[in-house]
């Protein structure tokens, strides 16, 4: 346990990973196993290209300073 605490304190970015895993676990339990089924994961992955294009555009706007 002390070893895990030492690793956790040395690398605070692990907090985000632990939080994400806990969040996935909570969603999976609350949805009665529907959250991470194949159809839902396929649907979420189908939305990623559009979100990625929007993220690239917003990033370029922020770099250029045109984002208010």
Q: Structure pTM? A: 0.56
pLDDT digits (tens, 9 = 90+) for 8-26: 778 878 878 888 999 999 9
Domain boundaries along the sequence of the chain: 1-36, 38-68
In the chain, beta strands by DSSP E = none
pLDDT digits (tens, 9 = 90+) for 21-68: 999 999 999 999 888 899 998 998 898 898 899 999 999 999 998 866
* Cα end-to-end span (Å), the chain: 47
Token representation of residue 4:
């895990």
Q: Is 37 left (phi over 0), alpha (psi -120 to 50) or beta?
A: beta
CA pair distance 23, 19, nearest whole angstrom: 6
């Amino acid at each position: 346990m002390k070893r895990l605490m030492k690793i956790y304190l040395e690398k605070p970015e692990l907090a985000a990973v632990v939080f994400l895993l806990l969040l996935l676990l909570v969603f999976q339990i609350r949805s009665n196993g529907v959250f991470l089924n194949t159809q839902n994961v396929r649907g979420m992955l189908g939305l990623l290209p559009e979100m990625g294009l929007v993220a690239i555009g917003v990033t370029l706007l922020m770099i250029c300073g045109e984002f208010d």
